[in-house]
């Protein structure tokens, strides 16, 4: 037969095989949709590929005496809908040129068949060498399965791999590999977009356990491992159930994406929730219920993973004899681990459950709990019921855990991991694995709460004093830090219920305090902190701190210096515990400024506008003298500035402005000066130019073009009709790039303001307009417009999802409706903006004008 005819026949046969393969896969998926038996689907898909490969080898045979082996997951006889087909082509000797060509044709045919093979071509010696270099390779080879070719070579390979296996070295390497993988995922199964295969508590953790047990000779599946005494029957059942749950989830991800996809992305979660049949429950979305179910399963896997690995470690690595050291009648120390005297200690005396954590805290030499004790604690969690919670001994033990000088965060995290904390505090159980779709929390509610307690604890530790020296100083003088931990434990405990979580949480902590015999004074403090935990950050970031009335009202609302200190510490810890991206030096400075001003008021120093004004002017003049400015040179400029200017700017800012403007008071040419903010990250930009209706719009447009986030804006119009506007912006430039960038801002902004018309905005940086998270969980824009307390201006509050150009769009609406901007507070929380503006304008004086303005503003935000 001519070569062309042979090729045509092969191509036709390959096309038929490809269609047959696709049909078989579709039938398997259809059967899965009826049965939901994921184990059957994975096995059937592997068998379908086995059959296709054997058919393919009839057209494209292996080299003589070679063997084809399945490895990895395919070697286990499991194949997900869009997983790679991992293969090993095993040779007796390195491939000749002709054999290499033959193998290349076979692999090309596999791709044409739609198999997407992940392959390696090696001799036995090469396999052994690669296995010694890479634990991942060794693991994949241990799961090899013969498919076709030379069976004698395949058996020799299997014997060689088993002979080389060192179960102790394998255990250590897999443990290290797992820890490195967990570090990559921040050591938490509670990421908002977890990888169901690789994240802690996912499928890979289950596989690691099986690999370790198999290498040690303890069995190839959960039942066999259980028979070795490493797992109880309940634990075998839990692990098998979790394995099936994660298998189905990964299958659904593959089917939904139409490709290999293991991440539970925000835009996928609603579709998966629909597949699983979840319906909205009150304020909670179906996707939130799906993810909470996922987190519970991942947490269970994490718990059992810890128990089984510790059990394996104790079996594999025998320790030298060491005398047990008695701690008390219930506990003893052995190999630096805490043990119970009796195996059934927690069943006989459930009060020991909480005391175990207290004993661990009180003995610094202990490195943890033994595997049998951890297992016993996990199983004993069911003893924590209403009677347990009402027992005064247990209530005293729980408060004692919070009052210890060390180990508090570790104890609470371990109690949460073992299911003890959620059972002791039923309200806490409701927020375990609860997602937060506010676009700035990066953790589930329970993990956020534990992060806040960790941050508070760091304020007490000398080794962390350099991080937040002011917080460390305040905490050192605070007499009962444990009250802050109680407040942190409850501050978000009512999330996801609907209603005001601060008020509901205050009710919960008041009940907790009554149950645990806390004093009236301590109860009042923790209740206040939970109810008001958002008050200080809102005041600092949304209100004008230069207004003495604002500070006075805030201080009166707080009521005492002790409350102020406690609220400040909780606020800093809370913001730091939301997401690494939310905290910055600007927020830190605002909170400190509000703290000092409120502290002065609470100390009896009532705000006096005149005295503050005189002091501020004297300080500014003293700084001007340091720069050689003549004694009375400032007078002409200052005579054009109203009282509000001096109240809204610090002395250093006034001196900075005056230094550059005192001899250019009536200039017609725009003046722009930029500098690094003297109190931390960020750039200050001052603009002095003849006032114009579209001035704010132009400036916002420029900052948008340069991808500079506006954090704050002080807008002032002088008596000689000049705009003196100060902006605080954030840049992503490095310190090395900053100085030239400041010069560039000055040059470009002057050019833009001097131009007869505002140019069209073109972004000079690259980035997505909206993130996947904001697209999946959009924030509905809201607008609040109300008159200020003096009836002179209007306060506009805006909440919306952040996106490039949003502030510029708002400024354009101001221009369209003739709105004058007096000052602006711009706050970005992750991908949520909460901006406040002090404005006035004729249109705001009648209802129709307000409606038109709000309608256009809403359109701009959407």
pLDDT tens digit sequence for 514-562:
999 999 999 999 999 999 999 999 898 878 787 788 889 999 999 999 9
CA dist., res. 291 & res. 286, Å (int): 9
Q: How high is the pLDDT of residue 438?
A: 54
pLDDT band at 760 (very low <50, low <70, confident <90, very high): low
672: nearest Cα among 738, 731, 754: 754
- Does this model's pTM top 0.85? My answer is no
Six-digit token pair at 510? 């008041």
Instruction: Confirm if 670 and 663 have CB atoms less than 8 A apart.
Output: no
Q: How high is the pLDDT of residue 780?
A: 79
Mean local confidence (pLDDT), 814-836: 78
Which of helix, strand or coil describes residue 258?
Answer: coil
Q: How high is the pLDDT of residue 263?
A: 92
pLDDT one-digit tens code per residue, 56-68:
998 899 999 999 9
Can you list the positions of beta strands (E) in 534-656?
A: none
Mean local confidence (pLDDT), 14-20: 88
Instruction: Confirm if 404 and 363 have CB atoms less than 8 A apart.
Output: no
89: nearest Cα among 56, 113, 52, 117: 117
pLDDT: is 148 or 846 the higher one?
A: 148
Q: How high is the pLDDT of residue 669?
A: 93
Q: What is the dihedral of CA 129, 135, 140, 142, to 10 degrees?
A: 70
pLDDT: is 644 or 391 the higher one?
A: 391
> Which residues touch 778 (CB under 8 Å, ≥6 apart)?
801
Instruction: Confirm if 38 and 29 have CB atoms less than 8 A apart.
Output: no
pLDDT: is 304 or 145 the higher one?
A: 145
Mean local confidence (pLDDT), 474-496: 95
Q: How high is the pLDDT of residue 2?
A: 52
Can you list the positions of beta strands (E) in 543-592?
A: none
CA atoms within 13 A on the CB side of 2: 3
Six-digit token pair at 26? 């579709």
856: nearest Cα among 821, 824, 820, 809: 809
Does residue 241 carry a pLDDT above 60?
Answer: yes
Give the DSSP per-residue string, 771-786.
-HHHHHSPPPPEEEEE
Q: How high is the pLDDT of residue 768?
A: 46
Q: What is the DSSP letter of 284?
A: B
Mean local confidence (pLDDT), 117-145: 93
CB atoms within 10 A of CB 754: 11
Q: How high is the pLDDT of residue 142?
A: 92
Helix %, strand %, coil % of the chain (to 5): 55, 10, 30
Task: Give the β-pairing of 85-91 and 67-70.
Answer: antiparallel
In the chain, count H helices and then E strands. 39, 17
Q: How high is the pLDDT of residue 190?
A: 83
Mean local confidence (pLDDT), 850-858: 90
Point out the least confidently predicted range of 49-53, 378-382, 846-850. Answer: 846-850
> Rounded mean pLDDT of the chain?
88
Six-digit token pair at 496? 């996801």
Does residue 3 carry a pLDDT above 70?
Answer: no
pLDDT band at 831 (very low <50, low <70, confident <90, very high): low
Counting residues of the chain whose pLDDT is more than 70, the rounded percentage is: 93
Long-range contacts of 604-613 (CB under 8 A, 24+ apart): 606/552, 607/548, 607/549, 607/551, 607/552, 608/548, 609/548, 609/643, 609/647, 612/548, 612/647, 613/643, 613/646, 613/647
CA dist., res. 371 & res. 303, Å (int): 11
Alpha carbon 72 to its chain centroid, in Å, reads: 31
The residue whose two tokens read 């290290």 is 176
pLDDT one-digit tens code per residue, 556-601:
999 999 999 999 999 999 998 887 666 777 788 889 989 999 999 9
CB atoms within 10 A of CB 245: 20
Q: How high is the pLDDT of residue 497?
A: 85
Q: What is the DSSP letter of 191?
A: B
pLDDT one-digit tens code per residue, 324-335:
899 999 999 998
pLDDT one-digit tens code per residue, 229-239:
888 888 899 89
Counting residues of the chain whose pLDDT is more than 90, the rounded percentage is: 57
The residue whose two tokens read 């070569």 is 3
Can you list the positions of beta strands (E) in 235-367?
A: 325-326, 331-334, 337-340
pLDDT band at 442 (very low <50, low <70, confident <90, very high): low
CA dist., res. 713 & res. 814, Å (int): 15
Point out the least confidently predicted range of 40-44, 120-124, 832-836. Answer: 832-836
Six-digit token pair at 860? 């701009």
CA dist., res. 782 & res. 862, Å (int): 10
CA dist., res. 298 & res. 293, Å (int): 9
> Which residues touch 127 (CB under 8 Å, ≥6 apart)?
88, 90, 141, 157, 160, 161
pLDDT band at 303 (very low <50, low <70, confident <90, very high): confident
Q: Give CA separation, 376 vs 304, 307, 335, 774, in Å.
A: 12, 10, 19, 43
Does residue 609 carry a pLDDT above 80?
Answer: no
494: nearest Cα among 448, 422, 537, 430: 430
Chain length of the chain: 862
CA dist., res. 372 & res. 341, Å (int): 11
Six-digit token pair at 235? 């634990």
Alpha carbon 17 to its chain centroid, in Å, reads: 46
pLDDT: is 794 or 546 the higher one?
A: 794
Helix (H) or strand (E) holding 595: helix 585-602
Which of helix, strand or coil describes residue 333?
Answer: strand
Q: Render the burial of 313-337: b for 16+ CB within 10 Å, e for the rest.
A: ebbbeeeeeeeeeebeebbbbeeeb
Q: How high is the pLDDT of residue 842?
A: 87
Q: Render the burial of 522-539: b for 16+ CB within 10 Å, e for the rest.
A: bbebbbbbbbbbebbbeb
CB atoms within 10 A of CB 742: 19
Task: Give the β-pairing of 85-91 and 117-123.
Answer: parallel
Mean local confidence (pLDDT), 377-399: 96
């Amino acid at each position: 037969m001519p070569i062309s005819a042979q090729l045509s026949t092969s191509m036709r046969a390959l096309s038929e095989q490809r269609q047959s393969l696709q049909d078989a896969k579709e039938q398997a998926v259809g059967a899965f949709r009826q049965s939901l038996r994921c184990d059957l689907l994975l096995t059937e898909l592997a068998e379908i590929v086995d059959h296709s490969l054997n058919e393919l080898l009839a057209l494209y045979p292996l080299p003589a005496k070679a063997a084809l082996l399945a490895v990895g997951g395919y070697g286990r006889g499991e194949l997900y809908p869009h997983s790679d087909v991992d293969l090993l082509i095993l040779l007796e000797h390195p491939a000749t040129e002709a054999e290499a060509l033959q193998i290349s044709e076979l692999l090309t045919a596999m791709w044409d068949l739609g198999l997407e093979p992940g392959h390696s071509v090696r001799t036995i010696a090469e396999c052994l060498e690669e296995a010694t270099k890479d634990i991942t390779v060794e693991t994949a080879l241990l799961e090899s399965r013969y498919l076709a070719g030379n069976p004698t070579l395949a058996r020799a390979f299997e014997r060689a791999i088993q002979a080389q296996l060192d179960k102790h070295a394998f255990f250590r390497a897999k443990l290290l590999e797992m820890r490195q993988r967990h570090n990559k995922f921040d050591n938490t199964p509670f990421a908002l977009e977890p990888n169901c295969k690789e994240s802690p508590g996912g499928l890979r953790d289950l596989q690691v356990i099986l690999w370790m047990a198999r290498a040690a000779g303890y069995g190839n599946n959960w039942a066999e491992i259980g028979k070795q005494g490493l797992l109880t029957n309940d634990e075998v059942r839990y692990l098998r159930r979790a394995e099936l749950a994660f298998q189905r989830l990964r299958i659904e991800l593959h089917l939904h994406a139409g490709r290999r996809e293991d991440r539970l992305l925000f835009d996928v979660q609603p579709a998966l929730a629909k597949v699983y049949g979840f319906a909205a429950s009150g304020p909670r979305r179906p996707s939130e219920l799906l993810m909470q179910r996922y987190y519970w399963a991942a947490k269970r896997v994490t718990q059992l993973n810890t128990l089984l690995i510790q059990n394996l470690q104790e079996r594999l690595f025998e320790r030298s004899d060491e005398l047990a050291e008695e701690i008390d009648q219930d506990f003893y120390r052995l190999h630096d681990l805490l043990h119970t005297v009796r195996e059934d200690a927690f069943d006989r005396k459930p009060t020991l459950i909480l005391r175990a954590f207290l004993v661990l805290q009180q003995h610094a030499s202990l490195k943890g709990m033994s595997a049998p004790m951890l297992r016993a604690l996990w199983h004993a969690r069911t003893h924590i019921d209403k009677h347990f919670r009402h027992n005064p001994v247990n209530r005293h033990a729980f408060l004692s855990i919070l009052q210890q000088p060390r180990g508090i965060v570790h104890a609470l995290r371990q109690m949460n991991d073992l299911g003890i904390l959620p059972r002791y505090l039923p309200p806490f159980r409701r927020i375990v694995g609860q997602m937060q779709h506010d676009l700035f929390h990066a953790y589930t509610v329970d993990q956020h709460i534990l992060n806040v307690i960790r941050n508070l604890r760091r304020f007490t530790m000398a080794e962390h004093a350099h991080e937040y020296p002011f917080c460390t100083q305040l905490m050192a003088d605070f007499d009962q830090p444990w009250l802050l931990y109680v407040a942190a434990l409850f501050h978000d405990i009512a999330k996801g219920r609907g209603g005001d979580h601060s008020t509901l949480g205050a009710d919960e902590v008041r009940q907790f305090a009554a149950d645990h015999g806390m004093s009236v004074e301590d109860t009042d403090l923790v209740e206040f902190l939970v109810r008001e935990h958002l008050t200080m950050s809102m005041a600092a970031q949304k209100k004008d701190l230069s207004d003495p009335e604002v500070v006075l009202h805030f201080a009166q609302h707080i009521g005492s210096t002790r409350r102020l200190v406690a609220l400040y510490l909780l606020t800093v810890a809370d913001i730091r515990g939301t997401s690494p991206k939310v905290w910055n030096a600007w927020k830190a400075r605002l909170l400190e400024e509000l703290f000092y001003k409120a502290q002065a008021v609470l100390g009896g120093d009532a705000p006096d506008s005149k005295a503050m004004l005189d002091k501020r002017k004297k300080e500014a003049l003293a700084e001007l003298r340091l720069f050689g400015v003549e004694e009375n040179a400032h007078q002409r400029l200052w005579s054009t500035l109203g009282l509000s200017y001096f109240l809204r700017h610090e002395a250093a800012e006034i001196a900075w402005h005056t230094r550059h403007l005192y001899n250019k008071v009536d200039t017609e040419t725009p003046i722009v000066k930029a500098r690094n903010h003297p109190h931390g990250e960020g750039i200050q930009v001052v603009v002095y130019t003849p006032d114009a209706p579209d001035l704010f719009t132009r400036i916002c447009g420029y900052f948008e073009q340069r991808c500079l986030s506006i954090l704050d804006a002080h807008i002032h119009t002088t008596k000689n009709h000049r705009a003196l506007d100060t902006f605080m912006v954030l840049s992503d430039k490095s310190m090395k790039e900053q100085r030239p960038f400041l010069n560039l801002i000055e040059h470009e902004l002057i050019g833009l303001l001097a131009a007869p018309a505002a140019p069209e905005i073109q972004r000079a940086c690259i980035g997505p307009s909206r993130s996947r998270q904001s697209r999946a969980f959009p924030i509905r824009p809201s607008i609040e417009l109300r008159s200020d307390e003096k009836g002179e201006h209007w306060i506009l509050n805006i909440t919306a999802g952040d996106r490039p150009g949003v502030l510029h769009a708002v400024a354009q609406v101001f221009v369209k409706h003739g709105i004058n901007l007096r000052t602006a507070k711009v706050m970005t929380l992750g991908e949520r903006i909460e901006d406040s503006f002090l404005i006035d304008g004729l249109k705001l004086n009648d209802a129709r004008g307000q409606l038109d303005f709000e309608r256009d503003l809403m359109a701009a935000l959407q």
